[in-house]
Amino acid sequence: MPHYVQGLLDADTPFEFQNLDTICNYFFSDGTFFPSPANEVLFVQKAASTFGEDPEAIKNHLNYSKYLYKITAPVFLEKSLHRISTYTHKYGLRGIMNLPFIGIHKSMHKANARRFKSSNLIQLFDRYATYNGSNPWKAPSTLNVIPHLEMGIGAFIPKGGMISIARVLFQQAIKQGVVFHFNQKITAIRVDNKRITGLMINDKMFHTDILLSNLDVRLTYNLLNLPLPNKINKSEPSSSALIFYWGIKAGFPKLDLHNIFFSGNYRKEFQDIFERGAICDDPTVYINISSKYEPGDAPKDCENWFVMINTPANSGQDWDELRKKARELIVKKINTTLNCDIESLIEFEDFLDPVGIEANTGSTFGSIYGSSSNNLMSAFLRQANFSGKIKGLFFCGGSVHPGGGIPLCIFGGNIASDIIIEKHNAKR
């Protein structure tokens, strides 16, 4: 059984989590198997041995990732990029002075290919672009900050799974006096004289002078009955996903919580996704098995598989046909890699595609992370955490600064709440 440690949001709100020893099990198309250690020292040793790389080159890359985090986190993650005060602060000034050195002018792949000779190790580090739904051949190499988060800070699993994060935050909010109204449809946002005045919910008006929206920013503007800002309207959506939920009536000791089965042609996979709006004929497959750490998530001697591939955002493709084709490709890759007949072991199956993601979450086009980071200036083109035109209107969530994914969404909520508190106190 995994051993969980306890952190505290406050004295009465425990949050239990476990440090992972292995970040991910990587399976490469040439048969190479690499269980990636979460410890930096062990990673350098094991990666140098497995991929035939100079350990100093790997160590330098991780040190550079740490440097990127030190420079960018106080500006790009913890503050608004759209306020002058960010850049007049000492961390902002340091960020501006270091702009030439944080890789915004070259792609992630180009930076990684210059540092390493092993195509497998390059592919491993290129994969971090997918953490915000982007193409490593186009996304800025600043995204090489991500390895430090996993190996320098740590990789974790919460007790009870990812939903426990939401549950703990919910409990904390209740203690602070927050009142929740679930399953209530907002039909309009009321604005008078460029100021938020209320919400229309199920044909009933609720008055407010502060609104923090975590909706997809496009939906927020629709409710405001305002045109979408041009920079957002023209932004390229991030990738979406096709997910299969499989109940597997067997155990696979070679698999861990996180597992990646890499494509043999990574560049073509991203070209298919972002340039052709198609699914690659050799997609990279991600498998998450939470029952490895939470045995209650699956029956005894069975496993729960979350099987995902990256896909283009929805632009009207025939997803029934694409899903059928993708499933065949996924099954073939798993069978070949694990030397099994996975089809015969699937006891239960469900799926979620870009159309379902859009319908269930409101994420436009089913994109998982809002806009992609395939533009070198994409961080500055996202919707700010506040409106410059409508007083009392604020934004958070995956489609605004600093981006999608649970950690960045929490950062975005912190940024927006700090601005709200600052403005509220100034007004009072």
What was the pLDDT predicted at 68? 93
Which residue, of 361, 394, 410, is where some domain finishes? Answer: 361
**How high is the mean pLDDT in each 10-residue block of the chain (428 residues)?**
53 80 97 96 97 98 95 88 80 71 85 97 97 92 93 91 90 91 91 94 90 93 89 88 98 98 98 96 98 96 98 96 98 98 98 96 90 76 91 94 89 95 75
What was the pLDDT predicted at 144? 94
Query: Are 279 and 381 in a shared domain?
Result: no
Give a yes or no: residue 87 inside a domain.
yes
Query: Are 246 and 335 in a shared domain?
Result: yes
What was the pLDDT predicted at 13? 67
Assign 3-class secondary structure to the chain: CCCCEEEEEECCEEEEEEECCEEEEEECCCCCEEEEECCHHHHHHHHHHHHCCCHHHHHHHHHHHHHHHHHHHHHHHCCCCCCHHHHHCHHHHHHHHCHHHCCCCCEHHHHHHHHCCCHHHHHHHHHHHHHHCCCCCCCEHHHHHHHHHHHHHCCEEECCCCHHHHHHHHHHHHHCCCCCCCCCCEEEEEEECCEEEEEEECCEEEECCCEEECCCHHHHHHHHCCCCCHHHHCCCECCEEEEEEEEECCCCCCCCCEEEECCCCHHHHHHHHHCCCCCCCCCCEEEECHHHCCHHHCCCCCEEEEEEEEECCCCCCCHHHHHHHHHHHHHHHHHHHHCCCHHHHEEEEEEECHHHHHHHHCCHHHCCCCECCCCCCHHHHCECCECCCCECEEECCCCECCCCCHHHHHHHHHHHHHHHHHHHHHHC
Query: Are 248 and 286 in a shared domain?
Result: yes
Q: Which domain holds residue 259?
A: 239-361
Give a yes or no: residue 348 inside a domain.
yes
- Supply the pTM of this predicted model: 0.92
What was the pLDDT predicted at 148? 95
Query: Are 381 and 322 in a shared domain?
Result: no
Query: Are 208 and 187 in a shared domain?
Result: yes
Give a yes or no: residue 161 inside a domain.
no
Query: Are 140 and 190 in a shared domain?
Result: no
Please state the domain count of the chain. 3
Give a yes or no: residue 253 inside a domain.
yes
Query: Are 267 and 335 in a shared domain?
Result: yes
Give a yes or no: residue 144 inside a domain.
yes
List the CATH number of the domain containing 207: 3.50.50.60
Query: Are 349 and 380 in a shared domain?
Result: no
What was the pLDDT predicted at 10? 57
Query: Are 261 and 291 in a shared domain?
Result: yes
Which residue, of 337, 361, 385, is where some domain finishes? Answer: 361
List the CATH number of the domain containing 350: 3.30.519
Query: Are 346 and 378 in a shared domain?
Result: no
Which residue, of 156, 187, 208, is where some domain finishes? Answer: 156
What was the pLDDT predicted at 90? 74
Give a yes or no: residue 165 inside a domain.
no
Query: Are 116 and 195 in a shared domain?
Result: no
Give a yes or no: residue 201 inside a domain.
yes
Give a yes or no: residue 170 inside a domain.
no
What was the pLDDT predicted at 1? 43
Query: Are 295 and 183 in a shared domain?
Result: no
